[in-house]
Every structure is written in C-alpha cells, then in structure tokens.
Chains A and B, each alone.
Chain A
Amino acid sequence: KQEVTQIPAALSVPEGENLVLNCSFTDSAIYNLQWFRQDPGKGLTSLLLIQSSQREQTSGRLNASLDKSSGRSTLYIAASQPGDSATYLCAVGGAGNMLTFGGGTRLMVKP
C-alpha cells in the first residue's frame, strides 16, 4: 500500500526566500507525481505533473524533481511571495491513476 509523507508539515519564511518542500513515497511503481496547491476553503490547483519517466518539471518559479528509486520528490519555490502562502500537496499516481496524497505542507510567506 502506497504511503506518502510530506515534510515539513508547516513552514514560515520571509518574502524573497527560496524554499524546498519534500515528499517521500514508499512504493516506487508509480505512474506519475503531481504537486497541488490548496488555498483555505478552496479546491486544488494543479501546479506540476511529473511522469514516471521524467526527472523534473518547471513552471515559472516552481521546479519539481522526481527520484523514483529513492521514493522522493521535491518542490522548489524560488523568490517566494506572500501570494504563495497556501497548503502544498504532493500526490502519487498509482494503479487506475488514483492519487495517493501526502498530508501537505502549510506554507506562510511573510511580507
């Protein structure tokens, strides 16, 4: 059974700082890995999708990496802004493309 863990659970940084969010998973037989953002009381916004054959994806200030053999992914956020404050969720796609989610990292970027 796939288990996904995100560290840290919460993070507070000053504006402008570069930061890394970590995600680990127990079963390396994955289809893909997807990073989401969730704002309070809102739905999920897809940030980046990495297929199992890829090692990284970039979108603007975001860069996500995938190391299947070690069961790890990182989300790098450059030059953080207060608008980046949200909960970031890592999800691993398995059989049936069903996603297994981590518990999330609550990020607060202070002005």
Chain B
Amino acid sequence: DTAVSQTPKYLVTQMGNDKSIKCEQNLGHDTMYWYKQDSKKFLKIMFSYNNKELIINETVPNRFSPKSPDKAHLNLHINSLELGDSAVYFCASSQDLFSRELDNEQFFGPGTRLTVL
C-alpha cells in the first residue's frame, strides 16, 4: 500500500547510456514532481507535471525528460548520461498544482540512487 513508489531503487550505468526511472502514485493525485538530491544532500526541483502543464526548472538540461503515460505515473528519462548526473532522484506527488487554497502537501517516494561510471 505504498503511496509513492519508484523503480529501480539503485541504478548503476556507464557514461553515455540512456536510462529511465519509473514513478507511480496510488494517492489519486493530479500533480507529480521530480527532485534531484546531489552528493551534498541538497534537494532541487527538476519538474512539476499534471495533465495540463509541464513546468521545468530552467537549470535542468534537456537530456532529462519526464514522460507521463497516465495520471498515476511520471517516468524520468535521461539521455547521454554524464558523471554529474550521479545523485538520488526523488519522485513526489500532490493533490493539485494551481490552487493556493487546497492542501498541496507533497508526498515523496523512497528515491532512486543513480551512479554513472
């Protein structure tokens, strides 16, 4: 009955490869997010997405792309992996995106540790 789940938990790959991380939420939420936590443990937003709009953090390279087959899933595709992409990637979800009045508490998945060799 996990609320937000991610696969795989660990991912080790070579530089230049293309990889995907999957995220699923069973909370019935409309909005999902991807965050990156670097080696210094600093968390940074990458994307927020619902069925209406994708909002991209301007610092995210275009090698990263979120793909949502349906409202409950938001997968992260990374092309041409680089050493600096090594980090822990967290998926999150919340009920809504645009309304200030609703409870927009975000719930996080367990993270995927990506290591690029």
Contacts and interface: CB of A to CB of B under 8 A. Distances in A.
Interface of A: 31-32, 34, 36, 42-46, 49, 51-52, 87, 89, 91, 93, 95-101, 103-104
A36 B96 CA distance: 19
Given A52-B100, A97-B48, 11 more contacts: A31-B104, A43-B108, A44-B90, A44-B108, A96-B55, A97-B31, A98-B33, A99-B33, A99-B43, A99-B106, A101-B42
B41 A96 contact: no
A89 B106 CA distance: 13
A52 B101 CA distance: 9
Contacts of A46: 105-108
Q: Is the interface of B mostly helix, strand, loop or mixed?
A: loop
Nearest to A1: B58
A96 B45 CA distance: 11
A42 B48 CA distance: 22
Residue of A51, A91, A97, A98 ringed by the most chain B CB atoms within 10 A:
A97
Contact of A97 (B57, B101, B104, B108): B104
Interface residues of B, number: 29
Interface of B: 31, 33, 35, 41-45, 48, 53, 55, 57, 90, 92, 94, 96-98, 100-101, 103-111
Nearest to B111: A43
